[in-house]
Amino acid sequence: MRLDYFIANATALSRRDAKKAISAGRVQVDEKACRKAGTPVSPESLITLEGELLSLPVERYLMLHKPSGVISATTDSQQPTALDLLPTDLRRGLHIAGRLDADTTGLLLRTTDGQWSHRITSPRVSCPKTYRVTLSETIDAGAIALLEQGVLLRDEPTPTKPASVCRLDERLIDLTISEGRYHQIKRMLAAVGNHVEGLHRWQIGAIVLDPELAPGQYRELTAEEARSVA
């Protein structure tokens, strides 16, 4: 893990303030001042902030940039799973907070904290999730209004909850929903006569997929990010 993530994870500092503390020489690694935010540290490193020994919280929270072709489920003998992207020593006790289809890319959260993931996935809490959706057909104002009001999905009795749509281009939208029904985005677009060609989740609540993470990469959430799921 990078030193700035460690500091942001082990203290109340944001990542930006963690970087400032490091460059100001307030952080020591193995008893030597370390001014480089990207320095790799391990669980064995002795890390202090102004002389105070730091440790990571017991519960663990990770964000992962899920590539296409990888399934979210914890075990699957046929296909690679998102868990395979993590080093073996990190995998213990982690579960997913909100699955993605195999062909969907983007933000996947994994944690050891069951109450925390419940706040993300529970239909009662309504945690918003934002997807960038590439469409096969042009989307018009009528279809956007329907998606925002709620649409009836095939074989389901109740319409989807109100959603919000930001039209980025003729065939590109950001769609924010606060439910997690089966294949919900693809079925919502099918319900307004369109078809999803590409799907990428980039935000859950206030947690945004780190643009520094390439597909297949992961990092620990900062304490600030983990706390944002209240």
- Residues catalogued as catalytic: 101
> Using the rule CB under 6 A, is 153 a contact of ligand URA?
no
| CA pair distance 31, 96, nearest whole angstrom | 37
Which x/- pattern, by CB under 6 A, does the window 82-101 give for ligand URA?
------------------xx
Residue 10 or 173: which CB sits closer to ligand URA? Answer: 173
Size of the residue set binding ligand URA (CB under 6 A): 8
Among positions 185, 207, 221, 223, the unique one binding ligand URA when judged by CB under 6 A: 185
Contacts 24+ apart (CB under 8 A), 67-71: 67/105, 67/215, 67/216, 68/102, 68/103, 68/104, 68/105, 68/215, 69/102, 69/103, 70/102, 70/216, 71/102
Residue 22 or 199: which CB sits closer to ligand URA? Answer: 199
> Using the rule CB under 6 A, is 199 a contact of ligand URA?
yes
- Of 31-39, 49-57, 182-190, 219-227, which segment contacts ligand URA by CB under 6 A? 182-190
**Tokens standing for residue 36:** 């480089």
| CA pair distance 96, 116, nearest whole angstrom | 11
Q: Least CB distance from residue 83 to ligand URA, whole Å?
A: 17
> Using the rule CB under 6 A, is 184 a contact of ligand URA?
yes
SS3 label, residue 218: strand
Name the nearest CA neighbour of 190 among 230, 226, 139.
139
Residue 8 or 82: which CB sits closer to ligand URA? Answer: 82
Among positions 183, 195, 208, 217, the unique one binding ligand URA when judged by CB under 6 A: 183
| CA pair distance 144, 229, nearest whole angstrom | 28
